[in-house]
């Protein structure tokens, strides 16, 4: 690994870790498009570059998400009873997504990710208040279905699920900071199940780099974790101090910029 490549992974990890703590996301919204650019520049992965970026992102989110969830838990920001009801559906959805991802052409996966980011970014920018038009929390079947949808889409686009979990919980009247903290915890099983699924989905595929296991490229994982695990708790600390409304809108702008780059770059 060249010093420039390592520096790129550390920079990606530092920024994604900060966002993970701030917004309860895994950081995949930053990691996936950044890795697509890096892998393309160093010419590894061939036709599997988007898939390799997604799998590597999910593996990185395991460490980042654990650091973020721990920091939010220490501040009373995790609703563990909701976590327990969402996780079974999340894990099932992640495995379904990992099973079908290799059937989706690389260009389609990239465009799907761009559309998803644009929709979520627009939602964040246009939201007026945390508790506007809140709906009651569904029962166990509804939470299983919600978890399944979160896990499926998270697996397909390589994110920790926060961009779906936070809006879902907030729309049900959960305090924004608790929504962020609970989302950070929910991102951990998504990442674990998703990373395992992407290892299996990419096992034995031709054109993958030597230090990859399936669709997970370990040098990138380790390089990013060096920075993301220390910055995730810093982001969690800031999330409990800065105005949530401002943070949501800034993150919405970031998502729209990334979506534009993926769609037209």
153-202 pLDDT, tens digit each: 777 765 667 777 887 887 788 888 898 899 999 988 888 888 898 899 89
pLDDT digits over 69-128, tens only? 999 999 999 999 999 999 999 889 888 887 887 777 767 777 877 887 788 778 778 865
Residue 130's pLDDT is: 47
Residue 133: pLDDT band (50, 70, 90) is: low
Highest mean pLDDT out of 125-129, 148-152, 214-218: 214-218
Q: Which residues of 180-189 are buried (b: 16+ CB within 10 A; e: fewer)?
A: bbbbbbbbbb
Per-chain mean pLDDT for the chain: 85
What share of the chain in percent tops pLDDT 70? 93
Please state the domain count of the chain: 1
Interval 7-32 mean pLDDT: 89
Interval 206-214 mean pLDDT: 92
Whether residue 132 is predicted with pLDDT greater than 60 in this model: the reply is no
pTM (two decimals): 0.80
Domain with 8, as residue range(s), is 3-264
């Amino acid at each position: 690994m060249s010093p420039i490549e390592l520096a790129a992974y550390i920079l990606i990890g530092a920024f994604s870790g900060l966002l993970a703590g701030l917004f309860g996301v895994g950081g995949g919204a930053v990691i996936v498009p950044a890795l697509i650019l890096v892998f393309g520049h160093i010419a590894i992965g061939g036709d599997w570059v988007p898939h390799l970026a997604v799998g590597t992102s999910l593996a990185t989110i395991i460490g980042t998400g654990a650091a973020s969830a721990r920091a939010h838990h220490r501040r009373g920001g995790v609703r563990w009873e909701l976590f327990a009801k969402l996780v079974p559906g999340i894990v099932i959805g992640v495995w379904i997504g990992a099973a079908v991802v290799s059937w989706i052409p690389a260009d389609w996966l990239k465009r799907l990710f761009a559309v998803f980011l644009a929709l979520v970014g627009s939602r964040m920018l246009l939201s007026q208040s945390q508790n506007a038009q809140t709906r009651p929390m569904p029962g166990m079947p509804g939470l299983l279905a919600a978890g399944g949808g979160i896990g499926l889409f998270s697996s397909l686009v390589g994110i920790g699920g926060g961009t779906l979990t936070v809006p879902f919980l907030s729309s049900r009247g959960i305090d924004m900071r608790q929504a962020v903290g609970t989302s950070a915890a929910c991102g951990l099983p998504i990442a674990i199940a998703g990373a395992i699924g992407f290892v299996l989905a990419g096992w034995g595929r031709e054109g993958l780099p030597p230090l990859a296991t399936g669709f997970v490229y370990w040098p990138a994982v380790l390089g990013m974790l060096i920075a993301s695990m220390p910055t995730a708790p810093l982001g969690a600390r800031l999330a409990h101090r800065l105005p949530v409304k401002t943070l949501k809108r800034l993150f919405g702008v970031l998502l729209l910029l990334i979506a534009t780059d993926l769609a037209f770059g």
